Amino acid sequence: MENSRSRPSPDPFDRVAAVVAAQVSAVLPDGAPLLLACSGGLDSTVLLHALAAAGRWRLSCAHVHHGLSPNAEVWAQHCAAQAASLGLPFALHRVEVALDSADGIECAAREARYRVLDAQALAQGAAALLTAHHADDQAETLLHNLVRGAGLMGLAGMPAWRPSAPGRPAQLRPMLALSRSVLEAAARARGLSWVEDESNADTRYARNYLRAEVMPVLSSRWPRTAETLAGAARRLAEAQGLLDGLADADASALAATTAWGQAWSIDGLRALEPARQRNLLRRLLRLQGARTAPTEAWLDEWRRQLLGWQPGAECPVSHAGVAGFCHRGLLWLMPDLPAPAALNWQGETDIAWAAGRLQLQPVQGRGLSQSALAQAAPVLRVRQPKDRVRRGPGRPRAGVKQIAQECGLPPWLRDRAPLFVVGREAVWMPGCEPAEPWAAGPGEPGWMPVWTPVVAQSTSG
């Protein structure tokens, strides 16, 4: 029998490549198009070569040039050369980072980076955006959030897999179980080269301080600190998943479907225990795409306002890209997008509008006359002062506010609702039947506009 001690040690790179392939194949099929975010550092370099070695997916690469370092151009050239050496498509994005951001340069750079990476992933139809976060990154995230007083969501760290959502691609982090030391061994085993970001040595930044001052001390006493903390984050994420399931059940029980989408009963929220109220509100914010979790103080103040809601009050709120308001006993949430710019309509039948879509469905003898619209070249825009619209055949014109009140359109949506305008005349808005001379006659082809505001995302994500 062969002595196990005589067996050669597994190649470090092969070990990493096997872990990466297993993580990707667990959620994505072979042949899926993937976009890899390449910084040029050790982590993304190892991930790039591990994915290329597998050869099972259609891989492309992107690098974001933040313009913050004198070496940024060298990093971009290094990433381009790495991709070229592997015969992979490569894209370079140059962004401007708000140096005076109230959230700090790190946060501003991260938002700018993901904005362009998400846009590219969506534009090219990538099944997922891949990033090279590893166990040390996860451990630093847990420690950083712990000292900041984060809740369970923050302590759960970064998810290995984040499903896609409207306007956001899926994201996969296939190396969260691997420590940086393992990745470095893999890189040296293959003779890979990478670049070092000199800003990583600046311990004024919290993460750099944890990386340079705290983690080495912990690892000197407990060598597997990074993997252990990453494992703790994974178990905390499982606990958060159970809380999400409870929140989803509460959201379903409180849901009210209206003509303008889904909202939630304020009376139903009041009937829940405080812990479940907070759990539900956090979950709903996250499902609407909130960039960050709310602080306990902010959440409790919002909860206090909701529980004290009285008819006529809107309780408007904005948090991390999500807008909320109350209307007719219901809580509404949606992406906090600005009112859309005017659009010269040229026959489009499916139009992105605010946080939703405007669709023109073909009908006969109803809706807006196709021939009349084609000849008039109307404009789609939001309401303006003094706009008045005919509410239907034989009915007088009325202001947008009056029509919105009649059809139950919440106030926050009124400034985002689409209007078809010909010249200075508004000929249609949600809640109205078209009137002469814009209504399709008997047997005449017409367009029936249907506006669907995205006021709630599925609680299955």
* Predicted local distance difference test score (pLDDT) of residue 252: 96
- As a whole number of angstroms, the distance between CA 17 and CA 48 comes to 10
Domain identity same for 102 and 217: yes
Total structural domains within the chain:
3
Give per-residue pLDDT as tens, 45-99: 999 999 999 999 999 999 999 988 899 999 999 999 999 999 999 999 999 988 8
* Predicted local distance difference test score (pLDDT) of residue 262: 87
* Residue 241, domain member (yes or no): no
Mean pLDDT in residue range 262-279 = 96
Domain identity same for 75 and 161: yes
Domain identity same for 303 and 416: no
Domain identity same for 307 and 444: no
Residues, the chain, total? Answer: 461
Q: Which of the four pLDDT bands, split at 50, 70 and 90, describes residue 8? A: low
C-alpha 331: how far from chain center: 21
Query: Is 39 within any annotated ligand binding site?
Result: yes
Question: 451 with 418: CB under 8 angstroms?
Answer: yes
Domain identity same for 83 and 211: yes
- Burial class of 72 by CB neighbour count within 10 A (0 to 12, 13 to 18, 19+): middle
* Predicted local distance difference test score (pLDDT) of residue 24: 98
Domain identity same for 223 and 81: yes
Question: 335 with 348: CB under 8 angstroms?
Answer: no
| Amino acid present at 333 | L
- Per the structure, the complete domain to which residue 420 belongs is given by 343-452
Query: Is 42 within any annotated ligand binding site?
Result: yes
Say if residue 405's pLDDT is above 90. Answer: no
Nearest to 28 by CA among 136, 121, 124, 130: 130
The H helix count followed by the E strand count for the chain is: 16, 21
Query: Is 103 within any annotated ligand binding site?
Result: no
| Amino acid present at 385 | P
Cα dihedral 313→318→322→327 (10° resolution): 0
Going through 6-80 in order, the beta strands assigned E by DSSP cover 33-37, 58-65
* Residue 83, domain member (yes or no): yes
Query: Is 44 within any annotated ligand binding site?
Result: yes
Q: Which of the four pLDDT bands, split at 50, 70 and 90, describes residue 456? A: very low
Query: Is 241 within any annotated ligand binding site?
Result: no
